[in-house]
């Protein structure tokens, strides 16, 4: 009870101090008794103001911003995993942790960071290590999956494979506040996929995209480049509601689609890339990206010029920047639980084996995260649609719906995918001629955190996938082939 009374008194004191500061030029108060009287009068006002700020996630006033974030991360709605953001906002008035912000806004929470300049919901949990020094903050996160996969358990088809491998990625980020309105960001992302899974990647039925030894990769997911991101960005806050920013990446991620799959909380326990990767978010590694963006409250508009060609087979080099393609994206976060986007990219010659073909890629997505009552428990979900329209004719659709239910140490997750795959994509033109077929994949998995040491989680998990394809593909893949895998996962623990 004493703590509650003390909190009310402190809130009243803070509100009164703000009111005096705003009216300082009009009237100077030199009577202590009157100042004490003002404190008493405002003791009952914070509750009403607290309720009002729920309606606006980025208020214009500085003190509203602080109180909004306190409200936004109450334990009954946001969970204790946002404790780091709570601490940041609760200490904002004292400037103890005012540097812990979004990578491209000093007035948005860090939890909204997606890949590149994309947005996640504000309610997203953050699995990372953090440190700060003065006006500079440092963040590091990543994933290692040590796993065994079999893509055709019943050996129904001729394209199944089994492999022991270790998909992985690591990202470091620095934010540095410049003056009163500026924010400098630097990001680096590494992947040792080439070392841990070889040049032809890992087995994944019905996957396609990129090449190995001059041939198209089919039923395999390609490895990512060693240097998956190297970018810098600068943001200027016009006021609390408006930011303008510039982003340069070599490599980097242009303004197309939702956050890449490895950065979505809904996919955090799934080691596999989506089958619609090259319909949705394959541009997350692009050698040469320049982006300009503008935010107004919860709405953001961005434009990118970038290199259309996908990374080559040499995963250790820097590809030539061409800036021959462009993209735009509109993002909107209507509440702390939602992140919506629509985007379109006009990609010049993305495939090395088809240099004369251009692709118009259109995407839309909705990401939703809701916190449950117990600390470390939440539901994160995503729906992503992507369409490739090729310059030589033909449209191919893809759709993904995935969700991760995290109950402290236990997680149940799933993914549904629909992709239209041509015989050309699947390298089946010799057997089946020209055609396009529907592929569906249903994945269900379970993961459990075994131990947490030095803020690092060691988890064990397993998942299975039922692939459902058109009957015309039964002769090659078998009817509804089953895939399965088991894994150990090493990743940063939830930052509290």
Question: What pLDDT shows up at residue 305?
Answer: 98
- Pick left, alpha or beta for residue 206 (phi over 0 → left; psi -120 to 50 → alpha; otherwise beta): left
Residues 6+ apart with CB under 8 A from 429: 423
* E strand or H helix that includes residue 62: helix 62-72
Return the number of other C-beta atoms located less than 10 Å from residue 493's C-beta: 18
| Dist. CA 439–CA 317, nearest whole Å | 34
Find out whether 174 and 135 touch, Cβ atoms under 8 Å. no
What's the burial of 406, exposed, middle or buried (CB within 10 Å: 0-12/13-18/19+)?
A: buried
| Dist. CA 80–CA 402, nearest whole Å | 24
| Dist. CA 142–CA 345, nearest whole Å | 28
| Dist. CA 136–CA 101, nearest whole Å | 10
> In this structure, what DSSP letter does residue 113 have?
B
Instruction: Give, for all 496 residues of the chain, the pLDDT tens digit.
Output: 434 433 433 344 334 334 444 444 444 443 343 334 434 333 433 343 444 444 444 444 343 333 333 333 333 333 333 434 334 333 433 344 556 899 999 999 999 999 999 999 999 999 999 999 999 999 999 999 999 999 999 888 999 999 999 999 999 999 999 999 999 999 999 999 999 999 999 999 999 999 999 999 999 999 999 999 999 999 999 999 999 999 999 999 999 999 999 999 999 999 999 999 999 999 999 999 999 999 999 999 999 999 999 999 999 999 999 999 999 999 999 999 999 999 999 999 999 999 999 999 999 999 999 999 999 999 999 999 999 999 988 899 999 999 999 999 999 999 999 999 999 999 999 999 999 999 999 999 999 999 999 999 999 999 999 999 999 999 999 999 999 999 999 999 999 8
CA-angle at 48, arms to 47 and 54, nearest 5° = 95
Find out whether 488 and 459 touch, Cβ atoms under 8 Å. yes
Kindly list the distances between the CA atom of residue 34 and the CA atoms of 10, 16, 41, 247, in Å, as whole numbers in the listed order: 18, 11, 11, 51
**Which residue's structure tokens are 């309610």?**
123
In this structure, the dihedral spanned by the alpha carbons of residues 39, 44, 46 and 50, taken in order and rounded to 10 degrees, is 180
Find out whether 341 and 365 touch, Cβ atoms under 8 Å. yes
pTM of the predicted model as reported, rounded to 2 decimal places: 0.81
Query: 3-class SS at 117?
Result: coil
What's the burial of 124, exposed, middle or buried (CB within 10 Å: 0-12/13-18/19+)?
A: buried
Query: 3-class SS at 228?
Result: strand
| Dist. CA 40–CA 9, nearest whole Å | 8
Find out whether 191 and 208 touch, Cβ atoms under 8 Å. no
| Dist. CA 106–CA 303, nearest whole Å | 21
Question: What pLDDT shows up at residue 99?
Answer: 64
Kindly list the distances between the CA atom of residue 150 and the CA atoms of 11, 290, 330, 485, in Å, as whole numbers in the listed order: 59, 40, 39, 6
**Which residue's structure tokens are 């064990």?**
460
Question: What pLDDT shows up at residue 393?
Answer: 85
All domains of the chain, ordered by start, with CATH? 2-94 (no CATH), 110-492 (2.40.160.10)
In this structure, the dihedral spanned by the alpha carbons of residues 104, 108, 110 and 115, taken in order and rounded to 10 degrees, is -50
């Amino acid at each position: 009870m004493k703590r509650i009374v003390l909190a009310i008194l402190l809130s009243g004191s803070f509100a009164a101090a703000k009111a005096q500061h705003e009216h300082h030029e009009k009237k100077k108060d030199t009577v202590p008794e009157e100042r004490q009287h003002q404190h008493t009068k405002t003791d009952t006002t914070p509750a009403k103001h607290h309720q009002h700020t729920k309606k606006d996630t980025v208020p214009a006033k500085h003190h509203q911003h602080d109180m909004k974030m306190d409200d936004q991360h109450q334990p009954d709605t946001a969970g204790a995993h946002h404790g780091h953001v709570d601490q940041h906002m609760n200490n904002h008035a004292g400037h103890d942790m005012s540097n812990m912000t979004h990578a491209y806004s000093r007035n948005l929470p860090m939890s909204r960071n997606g890949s590149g300049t994309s947005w996640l919901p504000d309610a997203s949990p953050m699995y990372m290590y953090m440190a700060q020094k003065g006006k500079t903050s440092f963040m590091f996160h990543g994933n290692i999956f040590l796993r065994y996969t079999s893509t055709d358990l019943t050996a129904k088809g001729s394209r199944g494979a089994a492999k022991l491998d270790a998909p992985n990625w690591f990202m470091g980020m620095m934010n540095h506040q410049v003056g009163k309105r500026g924010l400098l960001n630097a990001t680096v992302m590494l992947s040792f996929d080439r070392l841990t899974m070889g040049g032809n990647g890992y087995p994944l039925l019905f996957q396609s995209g990129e090449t190995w030894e001059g041939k198209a990769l089919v039923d395999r997911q390609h490895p990512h480049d060693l240097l998956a991101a190297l970018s810098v960005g600068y943001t200027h806050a016009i006021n609390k509601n408006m930011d303008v920013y510039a982003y340069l990446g070599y490599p980097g991620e242009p303004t197309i689609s939702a956050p890449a799959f490895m950065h979505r909380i809904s996919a955090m326990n799934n080691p596999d890339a989506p089958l619609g990767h090259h319909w949705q978010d394959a541009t997350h590694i692009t050698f040469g990206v320049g982006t300009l963006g503008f935010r107004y409250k919860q709405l953001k508009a961005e434009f990118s010029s970038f290199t259309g060609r996908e990374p080559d087979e040499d995963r250790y080099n820097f590809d030539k920047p061409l800036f021959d393609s462009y993209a735009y994206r509109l993002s909107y976060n209507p509440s702390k639980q939602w992140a919506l986007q629509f985007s379109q990219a006009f990609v010049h010659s993305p495939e090395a084996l088809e240099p004369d073909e251009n692709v118009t890629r259109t995407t839309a997505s909705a990401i939703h995260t809701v916190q449950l009552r117990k600390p470390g428990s939440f539901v994160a979900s995503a729906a992503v649609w992507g369409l490739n329209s090729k310059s030589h004719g033909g449209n191919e659709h893809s759709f993904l719906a995935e969700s991760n239910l995290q109950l402290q140490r236990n997680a149940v997750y799933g993914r549904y995918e629909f992709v239209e795959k041509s015989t050309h994509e699947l390298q089946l033109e010799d057997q089946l001629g020209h055609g396009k077929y529907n592929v569906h994949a249903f994945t269900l998995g379970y993961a459990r955190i075994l131990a947490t040491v030095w803020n690092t989680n060691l988890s064990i998990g397993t998942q299975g996938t039922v692939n459902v394809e058109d009957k015309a593909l039964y002769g090659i893949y078998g009817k509804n082939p089953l895939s399965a895998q088991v894994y150990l996962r090493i990743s940063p623990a939830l930052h509290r």
